[in-house]
Structure 1
Amino acid sequence: MGLFDKLTGTKHPSEDVAPRSTDDVRAALLGLNGPDVPYAVRNGIPSEGADLVAELRMRDPAWRTFFARTQVTRTLKIRMRLVPATHEVRALDEQWEVTWVGDTPRLARSREYGRGQVTMVSRDWTVERGADGRPQMTEVSHFDPAEMKAPLRDAVLGAGWTWRGVVFKL
């Protein structure tokens, strides 16, 4: 593993794991979907330039109240391209800052946008006076891209493929 691999989050599988077929890798990634995970993995569309896309379920009615209650301020989309010739999944992250507007909170994207490899954990805090009158910090929201990336990366590595973080283009 080189320095650039470390910077991009590229991970290689164990040498004792034989690479499986493209269909197996696709099935493993799509198999991560479930009602208890806050993200969804789906087939990409041609305009996205990706074979698979994983994104937070911020617009899903079942998860909207969770994201609104935790006041998530960022959303993440991971575009993945499967490269069978080299047994790797090339992954590009896209992150937006979001705001919640209206009486019934709805998602509105702001102007802040990032692309490449998102690794920064975001936490928002409030300071209030406690019962004893002393200031108390309370975490309002928490966003950690690893909570979404780790299962994706582990599924790819488990299939004997390389997870290649991409900074510029798939």
Structure 2
Amino acid sequence: MGFLDKLTGTKRPAAGVAPRSAQEVRDALLAQGGGDVPWAVRGAEPGEKAEFVAEWRMREPAWRGFFLSRSRHLDRTVRIRMRLVPEERVVRAVQEQWEVTWVDGTPRFARSREYGRGQGRTVSKQWTFGRDGNGGRRLEETFSFDSAELTGPLRDAVLKAGWTWRAVTFGKL
């Protein structure tokens, strides 16, 4: 990996990995998430300016309690928009961060001063003081959010398919 690749968030597949077809990459991306993880990949809707979108499953009733619980009360979320460029064997991805407001147990998403776009990693942790078995004080993690939980599996699926993952900060996806 060169300096510019590191700076731009570009990851290339390991040497010797045979590139798979665009359809196989599509299938690999759509197979990510869902099931027992709190995020999913879906085809983009008209106007989303992408081919695929990966996002936390906050809108799904079955997962609302998970995100709204005291220990995981999210006030921001991450969405990754992706587009395949078959002639270059590249998946271009942009990460967007949104502020979340909870109204009667339903998430509302809005761009605000918390909105961000790019390739950065978002990590948020909350800690409280607790007691250990001897009555002493200790820090306990009560909340953890890491956008790498979403980005990592997507990027790995692309790299295993022999394609390049290119994070996009500015310009066209």
- TM-score, normalization: structure 2? 0.87
**CA shift digits 1:35-64 (9 cap, x unpaired):** 111111011123111111101101111111
Alignment RMSD: 2.0
Match runs of 1:21-40 below 5 Å = 21-40=21-40
Q: Which amino acid aligns with 1:95?
A: Q
Distance across 2 between alignment mates of 1:141 and 1:97: 17
Distance across 2 between alignment mates of 1:161 and 1:62: 34
Contact 2:34 2:41 in 1 (8 A): no
Contact 2:127 2:140 in 1 (8 A): yes
Q: Find out whether 1:151 has 2:131 as its counterpart.
A: no
Q: Find out whether 1:166 has 2:168 as its counterpart.
A: yes
- TM-score, normalization: structure 1? 0.88
Superposed structure 1 runs of 4+ greater than 4 Å apart: 127-136
> Would the alpha carbon gap of residues 156 and 35 (structure 1) be closer, same or farther in structure 2, given more than 3 Å must change?
same
SS at match of 1:48: coil
SS at match of 2:6: helix
Q: Find out whether 1:46 has 2:46 as its counterpart.
A: yes
Contact 1:53 1:78 in 2 (8 A): yes
Uncovered stretches (5+) of structure 2, i.e. residues with no partner: none
Uncovered stretches (5+) of structure 1, i.e. residues with no partner: none
Aligned residue for 1:93?
95
Pairs aligned (count): 168
Contact 1:128 1:137 in 2 (8 A): yes
**CA shift digits 1:76-109 (9 cap, x unpaired):** 110001000110000000001223333xx22133
Percent identity between the aligned chains?
A: 57
Contact 1:95 1:115 in 2 (8 A): yes
SS at match of 1:150: helix
> Would the alpha carbon gap of residues 126 and 94 (structure 1) be closer, same or farther in structure 2, given more than 3 Å must change?
same
